[in-house]
Amino acid sequence: MKIDIIDFNDAVNLKHFGIEKISYQNQCWLFDLESFELNEEKEVTAWKPKPVGERRNNLKSLADYSDSDRNELIGSEYYLRNEFFDDIELILEAFHLYKLGNIVATFSQNTTVEITHFNYPRFRRIPQTGICQISVKDLPEIEKLFLKLKKIENKKILLNIERLKYDADNLHHSFINLVGILESLLTNNDTGELKFRFSLYVNHILRNSINSDIKIDFPTAKKLYDVRSSLVHKGESKKYSIELYLLLKDITREILVWHIENENYNVEKDFMEYVFEKK
């Protein structure tokens, strides 16, 4: 699943990074291709390499990747521009957390030295569910998230960012992992009435703290935990569905991003204050 910037023209320059489009001709030059074709999901359907004697070997680091990896690289549409190459992975992480996709920006270009640098920190094998689209107006919010990621020190939040980043390829394992992330963030590892508090706090933070567009009721939140328990203890669940998995994935992303932006947030304290204020 890739992210596409739907109203992008030629370039956008923010304070800490910029984005430019890569032309079809430039991609052919970078990859030593005569041509390539993409479908509507930006998947490579065909590509034709240049004859061996005509290749420039523009990106020697590509030699370490398989043809399937190259298929994911070809068709990328954007350069990321940043003064520090070390920031590129964190910028990509901010895009990923913002929309749970991979920004189609596999190359970075130093702002002070004219050099094209191959940068694709990891390949993620996730089910194709269409292209996640963002707008240019979303980019400042992504930049803010990038700056938060640079400064965050809370070890529990950092651990859960890593857990989401290296989400399992198997969807049942992934479901269990996602519920585990929410448990870690919302229940403070207290084992008492976990399902009840998990459901209660998921509802509260989405409805009252984040004011999320995701609408979920208490029984659905309980269902998420029931599916996780069945998968852990039985290896299967009749309640499981891909729709429920995608809902859980988006809930986890929103709640994790909320904790990144509100590092000292305590859902139990917030919930109690909310309840007594309502009274």
> In this structure, how many other beta carbons lie within 10 angstroms of the beta carbon of residue 198?
20
Which of the pair, 198 or 44, is modelled with greater confidence? 198
> Region 85-99: what's the mean pLDDT?
81
pLDDT at 123: 36
pLDDT, one tens digit per residue, over 35-80 is 999 887 777 888 888 888 887 765 555 556 566 666 667 776 777 7
- Per the CB < 8 A criterion, the answer to whether 149 and 93 are in contact is yes
Q: Give the separation between CA 28 and CA 39, rounded to whole angstroms.
A: 17
Mean pLDDT of the chain: 80
Whole-model pTM? 0.77
- Per the CB < 8 A criterion, the answer to whether 34 and 48 are in contact is yes
pLDDT, one tens digit per residue, over 112-144 is 544 444 444 333 333 444 466 788 999 999 999
- When mean pLDDT is compared across 50-64, 79-93, 226-240, the lowest value belongs to 50-64
Q: What is the DSSP string of 202-240?
A: HHHIIIIIS--S----HHHHHHHHHHHHHHHHHS--TT-
pLDDT, one tens digit per residue, over 170-179 is 889 999 999 9
pLDDT at 279: 53
**Residue 262 pLDDT grade (very low, low, confident, very high; cuts 50, 70, 90):** very high
pLDDT at 61: 54
Give me the long-range contacts of 6-15 (CB less than 8 A, separation at least 24).
Answer: 6/133, 6/134, 6/135, 7/135, 7/136, 8/78, 8/136, 12/136, 12/139, 13/81, 14/139, 14/140, 14/143, 15/143
pLDDT at 117: 41
